[in-house]
Structure formats: C-alpha cells, structure tokens
Chain A
Amino acid sequence: MNKLYVIAGAAILVIALYAVFFAQKEFSFDSGLAEINLIWEKQGLKPADLVNPLMVYATEQSNLAELKSGLTSYRNSVQAMPESDDREKIDLLLETELSLVDNALLQKKNFDLIDFFDSSGYDYSVLCNSISKAESLQESLVLQKNSAESFNEKLMAFLESYPAEAEKAGIGSLNLEVNSDEKLSEFESIVSALKVVC
C-alpha cells in the first residue's frame, strides 16, 4: 500500500514538474507580445497611435479605458507567472505601455476640457463662469506633462535594456512631447489672472 502511495506521489511530482517546465517553456517574449498585440488590436489601436495627438483625439475614451483594463489584467496574470527573463521583459513592456495609455487618457481629458471652452467662441462669460474647470485643466496639464516624462523615462529604460524587443513591440522610436515648465507656469498665471478679471 505504501509503495502505491510512493508511486502515486512520484507520478504527481513528475506531472507537476513537467507542468512547471512546460509552462515555462511555453511563455516566451514572443507569446507575451502576441497577447499584448491582441489587446491593442481589439481596440483598433497600436502604441504609435497614442503618441499622435490626432489619434488620441479621434479615439474614444471608452476604448482607451478598455485598453488600459486589458493591459492591466494581462499584467496581473504575467506577474503571477514564475519568474523568468521573458516574464520580466513582458512585465516591463506592459508597465511602459500602460504609462502610455495613462498619458493618452489624460490628454483625452484635456482635449475635452479645451473643447468645452472652445465651443464658447468669443463669449468669454463661459470661461469666466467655469473657473473651476479652468483650474482643473491647468492641473491636468501638469499631470499630462509628468505622465509624458514618466513614459519617456520608462521607454528609455526599456530601450536600453531590451532594444530588440522594443523594436519588435513597435515602441522603439516613440517619444511623447513634454511641455516646458515655463509654459505651464504661464498658463497657471493666466488662470490666476482670469480669477481676478472675470
């Protein structure tokens, strides 16, 4: 009887070891990238689209939110996998891409705010009556700047470590434009001035 238990235990151990080995062998950078690409394709997007303000403008907020949700969910499952080089690469790639999506979401929010003010044409009472929205835009523009910087830094780090993988993922030459502090300060001053003159 004991022998039977030993044999059964050994069999389970072999199967478990095989499963772990197989799973490790199955997960590669390419297979992870393929999963990521599917998530992007589902929303009709590719990473390069989100460094193009025009495309961000044309993309629905819901698509961006779903994209973020998809990438986050996949990242959680990747992080649950056994550690490996490829898992590390995919995790970093996902972190970088999520940073890009966050930036697009912020940019989209700012576009909407600008459109709100824009629709008033020359009627400045709209802006004067919505100073809190103006402040919100000002704060959000600062966040957008920080977010763009963060993405560029993450991308740079990924590029330095894994240049070939970055090219494969189509993010090798991406770069987000970062607003200068001087311009942001000027905008802040304008909002302050509006509070007084409105």
Chain B
Amino acid sequence: MKKMLLLIALICFLSFVHSEELKEITCSGSGNNYSGVFASNSYCDIPLAQGYLNESKIRVEFEENDYQSQDEFSFDIRVYLMVSGTDLFGKDKIQLDCSSIPFKETLSISPADFHPWFSLSDEVIPYSKNCADDLVELNIKRPSKNQVSFKPESNIQVKIVNDLITKYFVAKFKYLGKALSGNPSYDFFVIVDETPKKIGPEEMIPGTKIKLTLESLKSEAKKAEFKLIDSKDQTAPCLIESVLGKEPGFVSCEWGLIKISWKSSTGLPEEDESGKLKLYFNLEFKPEDSKVVEETPSCEEGATRDCTTSENCSGIQTCENKKWSSCVDVPGDNCPAGNGNGSGEQEIELNDSVLIYYYGDIFGLGKGQVKGFESRDFFQEYCELNPNIDRCKIVLGGTK
C-alpha cells in the first residue's frame, strides 16, 4: 500500500515538474490594437469588444523552443480565438493558423494539433504575420542580437479585425451546415503527392504519366477545371463539366491531341471501400500523322513540294526556316468534299488507334486527411480564392 502511494506521489511530482504552465502577462491597448512584451512561456488575453459573447477573447501564447542555437532564436506563437458567450461555446478554443491558411481552415470542433512555428533571424525582424486570413495580424519584434540579453523577450503587437466574431460564425455555419447535410463537396478531391512528370507528344509512350492540375473547383462541385501542362510548360485549359453527371463525359483539351474523359466502370461515380469518391480520368493520346509531325531534313528556303494531306487530298508543302511546313490542301480542288475554297491549313488527321490509356484517380479523403487542411470545404473555398497557390493544385497520379 505504501509503495503504491509512493508511486502515485512520484507520478504526481514528475507531472508537476514537467508541466510548464504559461504565465499570464498583460497586453495593453484598446480597440483592435494591443501589444505585449512576452517572456518565455507566457500568454495574454485580449478581450473582443462585442455586444454579444462578451467573454470571447483572443489568446496569444508565446513559448520558447527548447532548441536554441547561438545565432538563431526560435519560439512558438499560438493564437486562439476563444468563444465563450454561451454554454455551448464554453469549450470552444480555436487555434488560428498563422501560416497564411485562412481562418476558416482552422475551424474545427476540436482544435487542431497544429503549432505554427517561426524561426526568426536578425534579418527578418521585425516580423509581421497575418493569422487566419488577415483576421489577426501579429507584428513581432525581439531585442537585437547585440543586446546583452539574447533571451526570448518579444514584443508582439496584435491587431484584430472588427468582424472577427461575425466571420467566425459565418464560417462555422457553412462548415457545420455542409457537414450536417452530407454535402458531397467535402470528399470530392484529394491531393496526390507526386512529382509531376511533364510530357510532350514525343514522349507519348505507354506508361507515361502526365500532370493534370486542378485549376479550380466550383463550389457547387459540379464542375472541375483542369489545366494540362506539357513538357515545355505550355498549358492548355481543359474544362470538365458535369463531373457528377450520369453519363461519362468526353472533352477535348485545347492543347495538342489529348482528350480527356471521365468514367467509372459503371458509368456512375464510384466510392472506394472507405466510402470516398473515386473517379477515373481517362486521357487518350492520339498520335499526329507521322508525316506531318516528323521533322524533315533542311530544305531550300521557299521551295515547294507536293504532298498528300491527311484526308488524301493533294497538298503543297513550303520550305520555311529550312523546314517543310505542314501539308496544305490545294485550293479549289473540291477536296475534301465541301471544302470549296480549300484555303487554310489542313487539319491533322488523327490516327484512330489509341496509344495509351492513362488513368488518374481522383478520390476523396475524409475530413482532416489532406495535408495542412482540416476540412475539404475550407480547402475548396480557400483554393477558389487562391487558385495559384501551390497547395491548391491537384496532381493526379498512378497508373492502372
């Protein structure tokens, strides 16, 4: 019995020793601007001036990292929105993500275990950081390296936007509303981490992979716009509409000879074992007429020669820049039938045989499974507003 008590006492003592409680400091200021000098492991609470939810506040936590090098000083800053106006929200402590992910991204029923981490060197101070889609702005200053005390004593200014609480509730309304209604846009797309392989027509051999980038995803989740990137970084817009339609769609991309269709074995969107949406995108590569594509040896500038167009019509090729141009139909020969004026470039005839089938999977992940994002709809909205941000790009990968 004594041993047992001793063991319990020891555990209590150890847990006491290891728990570093944060000390409260005062952040002074008024309105939306506050500042405080933070010692290591301290926090301050900033009241939110609202007629409702009077006890709501912003909490800024400052914590020194264990690891310090001579010329680098690092610490964690965590910013929380603490809403406590009703019993229901009494427990709501929402960590605002200070790594330029919008405020909405950080909303969750349980606060995410995500700690924004800054590593500041002399070159970057004073450091300004917008948290949660500009809802909170942090301006961080720390004592110069030349000062005697190179210790974590940082002056942090906190600026809060006026409508933080309103934005919070609007975001939460949408988030919960979607979740409760079972809105499928949650689990619609996923990022597949894969080094993109860019290709050109010459690389269209079986097994080739292509980078298919999600350009944007409409909020109603019925449209997905894709961008194809070839080996020369040229892009071609491809729009796949009605992804959720019942019949497999078929759409041409403007670039080259690629057509994209989506399908599943049943013709309907499928779910994998875990209930996530799975769509197969089928890229068909159709080769150009080799006679047209093939570069011929240099020729004499301005020379012409007869050729046969892809529609078996008589044509003419001209030597331009020491290369034979594509085969142009002879004007007025009524070939192909109906082509009265015969002018303009002859369209390239596509070989009917399909060289490669490429299957890219787009399948949804559940909430919280996408790197850096807690929920699909937040991610989606974020990307709609910031389509050029790398993490918003979806790369399809894998062959089947």
Contact = CB atoms under 8 A, between A and B. Distances in A.
Given A121-B381, A124-B163, A194 B244 contact: no
A58 B52 contact: no
Interface in B278-320: none
A184 B163 contact: no
B301 to A, nearest CB: 56
Contacts of B221: 57
A55 interface: yes
The 6 A-B pairs of least Cβ separation, nearest first, read: A110-B181, A53-B182, A58-B244, A124-B170, A54-B184, A196-B52
A54 B173 contact: no
B26 interface: no
B204 interface: no
A190 B172 contact: yes
Nearest to B175: A190
Given A134-B173, A190-B172, A197-B169, A185 B246 contact: no
Nearest to B165: A197
B179 interface: yes
B55 interface: no
Given A54-B244, A134-B173, A190-B173, A197 B52 contact: yes
A197 B51 CA distance: 8
A127 B171 CA distance: 10
Interface residues of A, number: 42
A187 B176 contact: yes
B7 interface: no
Interface in B152-187: 163, 165-167, 169-170, 172-174, 176-185
B172 to A, nearest CB: 5
B21 interface: no
B174 A114 contact: yes
Given A54-B269, A190-B173, A44 B384 contact: no
A119 B167 CA distance: 15
Given A127-B173, A193-B85, 9 more contacts: A58-B244, A115-B220, A119-B219, A121-B219, A124-B167, A184-B180, A189-B86, A190-B169, A194-B166
B205 interface: no
Nearest to B92: A186
A53 B166 contact: no
A194 B271 contact: no
A122 B104 CA distance: 10
Interface in A63-102: none
10 contacts: A58-B246, A122-B133, A128-B170, A189-B89, A190-B172, A193-B53, A196-B51, A197-B166, A197-B169, A198-B166
